Amino acid sequence: MVRAKCSCCGDAGQLDYLSFDTPEAAIRAEACNACGGYLKVISAERDPDIETVADDLASLVLDDVAVAGGYGRTGFNPFALPG
């Protein structure tokens, strides 16, 4: 049974998890080598004290690393909206 697949293209064979800690970190980028997309995953299950909006902002460097690696964000990023 497939446990993880790309939320954009549905491919299950080419996912990488980018993080600054470990592959099990609470904040990771799930990157797909099939479509070139990534989606940031913020897990309250792994860190019950996590603040989704604040930690998404605090981890913008992870977005930069993913983009530098050739990936494009596939999910909605509210911080990209004009103020």
User: What pLDDT, in 10s, does the model give residues 40-60?
Assistant: 988 889 999 998 888 888 999
Contact by Cβ (8 Å): 2, 12: yes
pLDDT at 79 over 60: no
20 closest CA partner among 50, 53, 54, 61: 61
What lies within 8 Å, CB to CB, of 35 at 6+ separation is: 6, 8, 9, 11, 74
* CA gap 18, 15 in Å, rounded: 10
Tell me the pTM.
0.80
Higher pLDDT pick, 74 / 75: 74
Mean pLDDT, residues 6-35: 89
What lies within 8 Å, CB to CB, of 3 at 6+ separation is: none
pLDDT at 80 over 60: no
pLDDT at 1 over 90: no
Instruction: Give the pLDDT confidence score for residue 83 in this predicted structure.
Output: 55
